[in-house]
Amino acid sequence: MAEFRRGTAVMLQNGEAATIIKKIGEGGQGSVYLVDIRGSEYALKWYHANSLNSPRKFYKNLENNIELGAPTQSFLWPKFLTEITNGEFGYVMDLKPDGYKSFSDFLL
């Protein structure tokens, strides 16, 4: 399981790098980091290798979602996919805006 330190560069599929600023969350599937890309801050969701049943299918699905784009601007949607590193990967999305409600808040 990758644990990134401040200043670590995570390579994106498009050849750019996301630079780790700090960890901002953690859950059962992985960790979320605050990252910098070209002077803008984003969230990086990083999946742990053992947290997914079909990691290659999941990676391909994320790739398709990025290509298709968000259904509406209301969704926090993947923007960039990382390269696969030691069987782990992640995606970059916008940071959650103030007042944003997670879909899971409505399910509980």
In percent, how much of the chain has pLDDT > 90?
A: 68
DSSP state at residue 105? H
The answer to whether the CB of 76 falls within 8 A of the CB of 69 is no
Return mean pLDDT, the chain.
Answer: 90
pLDDT at 20: 98
pLDDT at 105: 66
The answer to whether the CB of 17 falls within 8 A of the CB of 33 is no
Is the per-residue pLDDT at 23 higher than 70? Answer: yes
Sequence-separated (6 or more) residues with CB below 8 Å from residue 8: 19, 20
What gap in Å lies between CA 44 and CA 68, rounded to an integer? 19
Q: What is the pLDDT of residues 27-44, one digit of tens each?
A: 888 999 999 999 999 999
Measured in whole angstroms, how far is the alpha carbon of residue 92 from the centre of its chain? 4
